[in-house]
Amino acid sequence: MGRACGEEVAESGKQPIRGGPTGRRYRHQITMIAALFDIDGTLYSRPMGRGFIEYARRDGRWLRALMYYGLLMPKYSLNKLGIISEESLYWSAIGRMPWLIRGYDLLQAARAFDWVASSFILPSGVRPVLERWEQHRQLGHLLLIVSSGLTPCVERIGAHLGAAGVVGTDVEERDGRISGRLASPVAIGREKARRATELVSKLGIDVDWRASYAYADSIHDLPVLELVGHPVAVQPGRELELIARERGWEAIQLRGG
């Protein structure tokens, strides 16, 4: 996972970011360069799930927070043993996340999403990756956040950064309250990549994917990284690091300083 601001960074295979707001012109259509960014472990070091656990504890839901954590531990152990994939572990973690705020009315839910996004995640920015975001912004690239996290939090982070659009995992509301269930498939793996291309289509923008960029830290983000011509692995895990090295991808390695 990525670390917070103020850390030393070593970047392997580093290449300059190229291209202005337009990539190429086909007849009268302007084709843009996109830059896709993950949140957890990429733009920010603190994971969203931990933020919701902390919020539940602060809101007196100690037992619920402990149960959420306890239910994930067996899968975490199985993942460490190589029995189940990291994607399966994340799918379970995200799928159960709305349960931590089940029963909240929309105002209570908004307070929870605000706190997790603004007070927990945003202070943990990974400086080298945020600097890349700013470089892409200055070049006029299409800035998109593609995250597996809960959409209301992803939207708040996207608004803070000025993203043109976001991908996240939707939360179900029923009768004005959070049901504790998801309202969409978890945006992970191939689903995240599919949702990213769908978002671009909804925005009505023609993207030059071969000239575009994607930043992510996990092996389950491989389908998103493979969408673009300039994938960047951020503090990658062992599997993604191996693939990045074999394919000559740029990598941003963070070291505590």
Alpha carbons 255 and 7: distance in angstroms, whole number:
6
- Strand ranges across the sheet with 8-12: 8-12, 250-255, 230-234, 213-216, 34-37, 142-150, 165-169
46: in domain? yes
What amino acid occupies position 96?
A: R
2: in domain? no
Q: Half-sphere exposure (CA, 13 Å, Cβ side) for 90?
A: 21
13: in domain? yes
60: in domain? yes
How does residue 211 score in pLDDT terms, banded at 50, 70 and 90?
very high
How does residue 24 score in pLDDT terms, banded at 50, 70 and 90?
very low
Q: Half-sphere exposure (CA, 13 Å, Cβ side) for 154?
A: 22
Check whether 102 has a pLDDT greater than 60. Answer: yes
Residue 176, φ and ψ in degrees, nearest 5: 80, 15
User: Is the model more confident about 14 or about 206?
Assistant: 206
Query: pLDDT tens digits, residue range 27-79?
Result: 445 799 999 999 999 999 999 999 999 999 999 998 998 888 777 777 667 76
Angle at 125 (CA atoms; ends 95, 64), nearest 5 degrees: 30
Mean pLDDT, to the nearest integer, of 199-209? Answer: 96
Query: pLDDT tens digits, residue range 218-240?
Result: 999 999 999 999 999 999 988 99
Query: pLDDT tens digits, residue range 128-164?
Result: 999 999 999 999 999 999 999 999 999 999 999 999 9
- Residues comprising the chain, all counted: 257
User: Is the model more confident about 93 or about 195?
Assistant: 195
Residues of the domain holding 44:
8-255
Candidate from 9-18, 99-108, 140-149 with smallest mean pLDDT? 9-18
Spell out the alpha helix ranges (H) of the chain.
48-58, 62-80, 86-96, 106-114, 127-138, 151-161, 190-203, 222-225, 238-247
Query: pLDDT tens digits, residue range 155-192?
Result: 999 999 999 999 999 999 999 999 999 999 999 999 99
Q: Which residues is 12 bridged to in the sheet?
A: 251
1: in domain? no
Alpha carbons 17 and 37: distance in angstroms, whole number:
15
How does residue 19 score in pLDDT terms, banded at 50, 70 and 90?
low
Residue 42 has a pLDDT of 97
Alpha carbons 56 and 61: distance in angstroms, whole number:
5
* pLDDT > 70 fraction of the chain, expressed in percent and rounded: 85
CATH assignment at residue 214? 3.40.50.1000
What amino acid occupies position 41?
A: G
Is beta strand 142-150 parallel, antiparallel or unpaired with respect to 230-234?
Answer: unpaired
How does residue 4 score in pLDDT terms, banded at 50, 70 and 90?
very low
Residue 28 has a pLDDT of 44
3: in domain? no
Q: How many domains does the chain have?
A: 1
Residue 82, classified by CB atoms within 10 Å of its CB into exposed (0-12), middle (13-18) or buried (19+), is exposed
213: in domain? yes
